[in-house]
Structure 1
């Protein structure tokens, strides 16, 4: 009998099964200790030597069909027996090269994905010649419920008494008899322990630290606090303002007169008190005489004040910068006596480390 009618029957049945809703609850455990049967069609490909050898009647690629009967031993292992009808012909003249194949297989379903399995077995052929072969393969099953499924499979047949390596691809349907063993009902989870509300502790200033641990009451609402409820401060260097040092120098002199040292001494005392502070000393001159000369004169005057801070108050020179600006930055425009008195000056710009609260 030719394969055409059988193949068409399987092809028609497959769309019918594909319309069945997939049962999400089907697992490998549902198949354990159950018998299954399968029908399949197979495209069989003889070894190249068979296709070119008169001893094998120039056996050509062609279709076959068959059935299987098996048993799921465990969730992963199964055994099956197989019968296949190979409907083969000769490549040379189209004469009959058909035969049968019988055998057994062991199947191992992957633990992480039971739909995929590998197989190995022993087969006996009587197509043209009698021969025995070992086979290995891989397959995929898709169950639509706990009974019906489709499968696809590829196998390699290695001759034992004859040297050949055939191959075959199966497509079929399988039916698992019976129903899955009843599953034990899950043990109900113990009832949760009743939730006892913790007593609310007083926090008068609402800073997140309870009054019993708060060492700084009434901290501002926008201040970040530490574990004791006290404001968290951050230190940074910042300009604290300009300090006008009113020093009037004698004509063409950069020496600070003794009666005009009070501002310089005040600056020195400040820098001693804040050892991380720095200062920029700016020397200025009135707009009288040669501008280049006045530039140098203002620099000498700035250096004089810087030297006083270093020598009299032990301020490290690295904390002091002295710059002369001559007449380029007048406080008062013009050359009047009042303008000259205002412009002949020393200015100090002090930068010191300050503490600021960290805000929420």
Structure 2
């Protein structure tokens, strides 16, 4: 007998494609103004609105404001700064996502009715996100703003922010459901005396009884959100098919194995793969009634690659979930043993 089902399995990681995603980022920090402005540096608060139009590129608009006064203490209204920047993610390091930024900025001084000064600048810098989940991250930023035109001063911004990922504007199409099939063993026909011997069985109360054990490995197509161990609803049919097969064969047992590529540390990859296969095993039991004693879960991390880790295609092959299924089938042939 054999159990046959196979499909490509891709693990989304923190750097997964979030094209169409919108971000909202409350922020605060310190704007160190050039001495030539004769304006005191001050703490600023603001927010950013971002749109990831093509991974790893994101465009972001930032608005920041603070009370402004001269170095002599004279009130000159508000400081208002606007930035429009392109952010480029350089690649994840565990839960950290560093990036570089380049764009344009404008800084105004004065009240809403009267602008005392309005200066443009080139904005350049870098930052990093620490991803608590695939939706929330703590962010640190550093920017150098160089004045253009008549303004030659240089300002420096250092700040912290909480970035909230609001989700993509489109949803990926559900993955095609992979069906698990069972092929019955081929039974050869022999004479009554030969049937039991040829089949390798034993005679029991006038019957020739043969027990066969088959172990096959299938690859489940389940795509997780980055840094998450929750199975998206679009891939539940994949797990349901495995559960249906195990209910059809009550003696079947399964070992769920999780694998990653070599991106990030080995310890993190092993922990992430273990959490994900634990969730698959839990769903088999909680949602589909498969006895938990028939399912075990092992996270192998990056230890068992099936391809190299030098290209995105090969890394995708290594990010997979496999189920090793063992089925014991008892075939009984009624024969005359005299």
Q: Same fold (TM over 0.5)?
A: no
Q: TM-score, normalised on structure 1?
A: 0.40
**Structure whose residues are more often strand by fraction:** 2
- Calculate the TM-score normalised by the size of structure 2: 0.43
Higher relative contact order (CA 8 A, sep 6+): 2
Larger Rg: 1
